[in-house]
Amino acid sequence: MIDLDEQYLSGEHKELRAQLRKFIAAEIVPAAAAWENLGTLPHAVFARMGELGLLGVSMPEAFGGADFDTLGTVVFGEELGRSGFGGFMSAISDHADITAPVIKRNGTPEQLQRWLPDIIAGRRIAGLAVTEPGGGSDLVRMKTTAVRDGDHYVLNGQKTFITNALSGEIFVTVARTDPEAKGAAGFSLFVIEKGAPGFTTGAPFSKTGWSSSDMSDLFFDDFRVPAANLLGEEGRGFYLMMQGIENERLSIGAQCVGMAERAIEITLDHLKQRQAYRGTLWDLQVIRHDIARLVSELSAAKLLLYHAAVKKSRGESVRLEATMVKATLPELLKRVVDVCVQHHGASGYMRGTEIERLGRDARPHSLGGGASAVMLDEVAKLL
């Protein structure tokens, strides 16, 4: 696989990669299969990563973070994906790479001090509560409402497909505060803390993959949230969410790269060892060409990802590039794992093998964070 570290990464970036890879190999991979059966990631994993400084890669140093740029986010996402466990990747990414940055960008100094240190240290698990039944990628169809009542807002509605719903304690939630507003206007962001009356979770979802990240519904029934938990300006929630969409899409792209590279690595090992037809499977030209084609396409997509990350690290807009990354890499990942499963033969379809799990865990990235068809349409609008 193409190695871009020397061309793009600083010494600090490389140290981050080495630390993540060592930690994941020693403390995640040996235990992660048990967490798959458990259906959730133990709180101790978040606490351990917080202790090692691995949950605040892009967070300010003042709150315990490492204050890396977007390339640091890419390294973080790649190594989560390379773990081979999509559930671990999803739970940690949603906490550290998706939810925490929303608070960082929009919180007041008091709000940052109230929530970020606990999130970065892994003391409290965080999640993002946006998607609703019947809404999907069409975020302006959200129906959850928040009505001002003195020094509180009263929330009513339902969120669905929420990662860390059962283990989480802090949720960044979007609700409609102006029922008369049209389109994307009239939505606001709130930080919801579990424990108060009127906030409940549903039963855990049984997913095809990402088994160690718990997912469920969130229900708000006259739930009172303090007005002090409003993030940013009332009515600007949708636009505040969109400010972070570039980072989210690049993070997802990085996870796809890590998963795809891992799938190819274990498949190459298999092909070069598997005896067949008076040689190895790797001796068959059609199989070599399959892998060569995928490696070439993955390398090109990875270059786009790193190019976008460099621009973003310089403070430039990468809306087009990030959207292209999100439209391209999840679909490429699915093709990579499909070919890799195929070339493992029957063993690639056996539960308990890494390639079979990657085959299942590759699917959600083309659904979450904006479906691929939506991303392609957005790319077209930007041309």
For residue 278, count CB atoms less than 10 angstroms from its CB and return exposed for 0-12, middle for 13-18, buried for 19 or more: exposed
SS3 224: strand
Work out the pLDDT band at 2, boundaries 50, 70, 90. confident
Mean pLDDT, rounded, for 118-147: 87
Distance of alpha carbon 156 from alpha carbon 141, whole angstroms:
15
Q: Which residue has the tokens 């690595």?
A: 265
pLDDT of residue 134: 75
Q: What is the CATH number of domain 244-382?
A: 1.20.140.10
* Residue pair 123/48 in contact by the 8 Å Cβ criterion: no
262 burial via Cβ count (<10 Å: 0-12, 13-18, 19+): buried
Q: What does the pLDDT average to over 150-178?
A: 96
pLDDT value at residue 138: 63
Q: pLDDT tens, 281-303? A: 999 999 999 999 999 999 999 99
Q: Where in the chain is the domain with CATH 1.20.140.10?
A: 244-382
Tokens coding 370:
């904006």
pLDDT of residue 24 exceeding 80: yes
Task: Assess whether pLDDT exceeds 70 at residue 135.
Answer: no
pLDDT value of position 175: 94
Q: Where in the chain is the domain with CATH 2.40.110.10?
A: 128-237
Picking from 20, 3, 35, 163, the residue whose alpha carbon sits closest to that of residue 83 is 20
Backbone torsions φ then ψ of 295, nearest 5 degrees: -65, -40
Catalytic residue among 36, 248, 321, 378: 248
Q: Is the pLDDT of residue 139 over 70?
A: no
The residues with which 231 forms a beta bridge, in sequence order, are 189
Q: Is the pLDDT of residue 16 over 60?
A: yes
How far is it, in rounded angstroms, from Cα 128 to Cα 303?
Answer: 29
> 131 in the Ramachandran plot: left (φ > 0), alpha (ψ -120 to 50) or beta?
beta
Residues of the chain with CATH 1.10.540.10: 5-125
Q: Which of 250, 243, 247, 263 is nearest to 327 (CA)?
A: 250
CB 127 within 8 A of CB 94: yes
Neighbours of 347 (CB within 10 A): 13
Residue 280's DSSP bridge partners are: 275
Model confidence at 183, pLDDT cuts 50, 70, 90, reads confident
Higher-confidence residue: 276 or 149?
149
CB proximity list for 355: less than 8 A, separation 6 or greater: 263, 266, 267, 270, 337, 340, 341, 344, 347, 348
pLDDT in tens, 355-370: 999 999 999 999 988 8
Range 128-237 has CATH code 3.40.109.10: no
For 139-186, the DSSP string reads GGG---EEEEETTEEEEEEEEEEEETTTT-SEEEEEEES-TT--TTTT
Segment 219-234 shows an average pLDDT of 96
DSSP collapsed to 3 states, 225-289: EEHHHEECCCCEHHHHHHCCHHHHHHHHHHHHHHHHHHHHHHHHHHHHHCEECCEEHHHCHHHHH
DSSP 35: H
Which helix (H) or strand (E) segment is 306 a member of?
helix 285-313
Half-sphere exposure of 271 (CA within 13 A, CB side): 24
What percent of the chain shows pLDDT beyond 70?
98
Q: Name which of 181-185, 288-292, 344-348 the model is least confident about.
A: 181-185
Q: Is 113 helix (H, G, I), strand (E, B) or coil?
A: helix
Confidence of residue 6 (pLDDT cuts 50, 70, 90): very high
Concatenating the DSSP letter of every residue in 182-212 gives -TTTTEEEEEEETTSTTEEE-PPP--SS-TT
Flag whether pLDDT at 136 surpasses 70: no
Least confidently predicted of 132-136, 219-223, 245-249: 132-136
Unique residue bearing structure tokens 């399959």: 290
248 is known as an active-site residue: yes
Q: Residue 91: is its pLDDT beyond 80? A: yes
C-alpha–C-alpha distance, residues 226 and 380, integer Å:
41
CATH code for the structural domain at 5-125: 1.10.540.10
Tokens of 92: 């940690």
What is the sign of the dihedral through the CA atoms of 169, 172, 173 and 178?
positive
